[in-house]
Structure 1
């Protein structure tokens, strides 16, 4: 990166302070641009979801990995919960969305409460892994909330066979004038596909591990039994190990990183699986150099840039993100 006319800024800058100046290029289409990151994570777009409790979780991890990015499960979640989340992400299909499934005797009220948890606006009625019908919010309008979903569900629904290409799925949904359909392998439910999801699947490449499963990271702090937790996160299958604290340029972080890196290297020798170590957060060149020298593969940059973060406002500590 260089500044126009080689005029360096005299003050720190935020993203709102700058523009990118177009230059001569031989790229004719945005689809010809390779956004895959060379950092060993495996993402196909340079987007990582912050390891914040209000931001990152299992559903976010699934969704962003299907589009090529990666999410990190926060450090303040119990390890057994993290293990369950990682397992669910790994079990999720890399293309088909995970539906909300209910049994035929679920009440309409319960089903309506679940529908907003997905953007496709419906729940699937399933017995023994086989889809029997679908219930939308419209199906439950004006119906006794204690009625059961099998009384109002639509049974004449479009089902798509696994292996059908995304363009063919999109065309089938359009022909039937429906927004969502279950994807099945014989009678077994694999997931659901929407028009938007099918379209996006033709544009984005999922971020997958060596076994073709969605990527997901997990975070560990610098207090407590850091080595024990890091070893557990490696064992449960996290693809990214984030050593995280608000002020990453401190002695305790620099003492912890060699331990975490040694555990990662030991795990790699035993399993052949390379897990990048991320550390942060810092806002200076010296902080970045120190974390890299201590064992980090990737450095998280920024103190207080998040929309929900109040660090800068409450403490006056931080740095404009573009300059950081």
Structure 2
């Protein structure tokens, strides 16, 4: 369902699959296709529980949310409510969107990529390398935090207490553990480096305990 508004954002109608199912003229104006009469809406501040009742009573799947001036400010769907019921622990932002993190490297256009991700509204950035305990990684971390101080930055991968302290001191908001942790990991074969994952997590967590910086593994 797609709510239709005028140039002032006032709700004028809604187009649903039911409106389009038997429509064969793609050149018709949307105002001739949309449902505009007897629109069922919810006011600003309506809870999801109340919205579910409205949807059920009116046997609809889409519920536009409007303010006091009938301007569209949101859309609640039955699918939204179903997902919330099935997955109540999903990590969402204040707009109800799933939180998103994205990984970048430390070479080339890393900073440009971070800027583009921030512009797109990413919730966190992961500086992701095979060996996170390096000056190059910290240099990128410091520059990112300097330009985007409110952005959560996760840094990894590491496997030692020294590396964890190094990254935390440099401003990492979280550290990611794991270097050659498993028997099938090629890092152990190619680089001759690896550390059992449980031991790495245990030592890293102990090293930065009390810092408020979480460990991801």
1:160 corresponding residue in structure 2: 42
CA contact (8 A) 1:220 1:229 kept: no
By relative contact order (CA 8 Å, sep 6+), the higher-ranking structure is 1
User: Which residue, 218, 229, 241 being the options, matches 2:125?
Assistant: 241
Q: Report the CA distance between 1:138 and its aligned residue.
A: 2.5
2:214 corresponding residue in structure 1: none
2:6 corresponding residue in structure 1: 127
For residues 91-116 of structure 1, the C-alpha deviation after alignment (integer angstroms, 9 at most, x for no partner) is xxxxxxxxxxxxxxxxxxxxxxxxxx
In 2, Cα distance between the equivalents of 1:164 and 1:146? Answer: 36
User: Which residue, 198, 215, 236 being the options, matches 2:81?
Assistant: 198
Helix, strand or coil at the partner of 2:159: helix
CA contact (8 A) 1:133 1:153 kept: yes
For residues 68-94 of structure 1, the C-alpha deviation after alignment (integer angstroms, 9 at most, x for no partner) is xxxxxxxxxxxxxxxxxxxxxxxxxxx
Q: Report the CA distance between 1:161 and its aligned residue.
A: 0.7
1:105 corresponding residue in structure 2: none
2:138 corresponding residue in structure 1: 258
Q: 1:239 to 1:259 in 2, by over 3 A?
A: farther
Q: Report the CA distance between 1:191 and its aligned residue.
A: 1.7
The reply on whether 1:298 has 2:178 as its aligned counterpart is: no
Q: 1:200 to 1:238 in 2, by over 3 A?
A: closer
Q: Report the CA distance between 1:267 and its aligned residue.
A: 5.5
Q: 1:133 to 1:233 in 2, by over 3 A?
A: closer
CA contact (8 A) 2:131 2:156 kept: no
Q: Report the CA distance between 1:225 and its aligned residue.
A: 4.6
In 2, Cα distance between the equivalents of 1:192 and 1:222? Answer: 40
In 1, Cα distance between the equivalents of 2:39 and 2:179? Answer: 48
Backbone CA RMSD of aligned residues: 3.8
**TM-score, L = length of structure 1:** 0.43
In 1, Cα distance between the equivalents of 2:17 and 2:151? Answer: 45
Paired positions, count: 173
Which sections of structure 1, spanning at least 5 residues, go unmatched?
A: 1-121, 281-286, 304-311
User: Which residue, 51, 59, 63 being the options, matches 1:181?
Assistant: 63
Which sections of structure 2, spanning at least 5 residues, go unmatched?
A: 189-196, 199-216
CA contact (8 A) 2:131 2:179 kept: no
